[in-house]
Amino acid sequence: MKYFRLSKSLSLLLVVAFLFSLMLIFPNGGAEAQDITVERIFGADRFETAVEISKEGWTSSDTVILARSDDFPDALAGTPLAYQEDAPILLTPTESLSSTTMNEIERLDADKAIILGGTAAVSDTVEIELLAMGLEVERIGGDNRYETATLIAEYLPEADQAIIAYGGNFPDALAVGSYAAQNGYPILLTRTESIPSTTQEILTGINDTIIVGGTAVIGNTVFEQAPNPTRIAGDDRFDTAAKIVSQLDLPVDKAYVATGMNFADALTGSALAAKDNASMLLVRQNAVPSSTKDIIEEKGIINFIILGGTGAVSDTVELQLKDEEVVIEPGEMILHFIDV
């Protein structure tokens, strides 16, 4: 019988290969990863996902909040109102109620619907349909998104602190929504280089403000005009959401996870996150951003609820949240987005 002597370098290579194979078989290092829980709340579309979120949090509700399904501006400031009313946020097309939303309103046995936005966002037809269902209907809508946000703020108890978010996009306002809601702080909207007059008026009664977003979305001119401002900003929307959790010391027993590339699931889910005393994190469709991973590890978050189907947040993200090994198939592409 012949014996072969392996060189030291080859022996070392084989040992490394063996250890790597063990990592693939046991990527979580044993029992620790078994404590991680990942659930998903989803429907066939954004209307059904909103309904499933509503079912998760509410067996019944006197009030429902209705927001336009295909655009975000009027709904950005709605989470604190939903929390105050202990109401789910449901979605509607502009022109008429969907049967999915209508059925959920009936299941909730609601008496009142609050519409966010003017008739260009949610038409009079929707209001008529709600009245026909026997609901009291109230509409909160200004001439633009900035005025709508201030009108929503007037429905909340008087507060000495407010959140200021960029009105031209959705991520920052929705990421901070559960914190604002639980503390009774209004979410006010601004342009990048100037504070709208309606927002300025309501700020006269505010002592402190939290500016959410970097200088690319809220410039220093706005920052300097805000009462006693503190800025929370990351390198992008995902990092900003992570820094909201870190700097505001948000609850980390559970985190809701939504796509950072569309508003609908984060909007409807923000009301449930507030009710559930949980944080909101944003992810890409096919990857957990490094900043999100970092805050998960820093805070030791092990319980996650994904909002939306795999078209919004893929199975790959679910595996990454479980801290499992993810194999990228040949030809599969992960897109990275840079906020500007």
Segment among 242-246, 275-279, 326-330 with least mean pLDDT: 326-330
Strands 229-232 and 255-259: unpaired
| CA 237 to mean position of chain CA atoms | 11
Are the CB atoms for 116 and 152 separated by under 8 Å?
Answer: yes
* pLDDT tens profile 99-129: 999 999 999 999 999 999 999 999 999 999 9
Q: Is the alpha carbon torsion for 57, 132, 94, 165 positive or negative?
A: negative
Q: What is the CA radius of gyration of the chain?
A: 23
113, 116, 127, 198 from 142: Cα distances, Å:
17, 9, 16, 10
Strands 112-116 and 89-92: unpaired
Over residues 156-185, mean pLDDT: 97
Q: Where does the pLDDT of residue 323 fall: very low under 50, low under 70, confident under 90, or very high at 90 and above?
A: confident
Flag whether pLDDT at 153 surpasses 50. Answer: yes
Q: Is the alpha carbon torsion for 296, 300, 306, 311 positive or negative?
A: positive
For 12, which DSSP code? H
Separation between Cα atoms, residue 81 and residue 75, nearest integer Å:
10
Separation between Cα atoms, residue 280 and residue 269, nearest integer Å:
9
**177 backbone dihedrals φ, ψ, rounded to 5°:** -60, -45
The set of residues, in sequence order, having a beta carbon less than 8 Å from that of 218 and lying 6+ positions away, is 164, 165, 166, 190, 192, 211, 212, 231
Flag whether pLDDT at 16 surpasses 50. Answer: no
Over residues 88-105, mean pLDDT: 98
Q: Is the alpha carbon torsion for 158, 268, 255, 61 positive or negative?
A: positive
The set of residues, in sequence order, having a beta carbon less than 8 Å from that of 293 and lying 6+ positions away, is 320
Percent of the chain at pLDDT above 90?
Answer: 84
Q: What is the pLDDT of residue 254?
A: 97
For 274, which DSSP code? H
Q: Mean pLDDT for the chain? A: 90
Q: What is the pLDDT of residue 15?
A: 44
Helix (H, G, I), strand (E, B) or coil at 252: coil
Query: What are 63's strand-pairing partners?
Result: 112
Separation between Cα atoms, residue 177 and residue 199, nearest integer Å:
18
104, 175, 239, 316 from 159: Cα distances, Å:
32, 20, 28, 41
Are the CB atoms for 68 and 90 separated by under 8 Å?
Answer: no
Are the CB atoms for 325 and 24 separated by under 8 Å?
Answer: yes
Higher-confidence residue of 34 and 139: namely: 139
Helix (H, G, I), strand (E, B) or coil at 307: strand
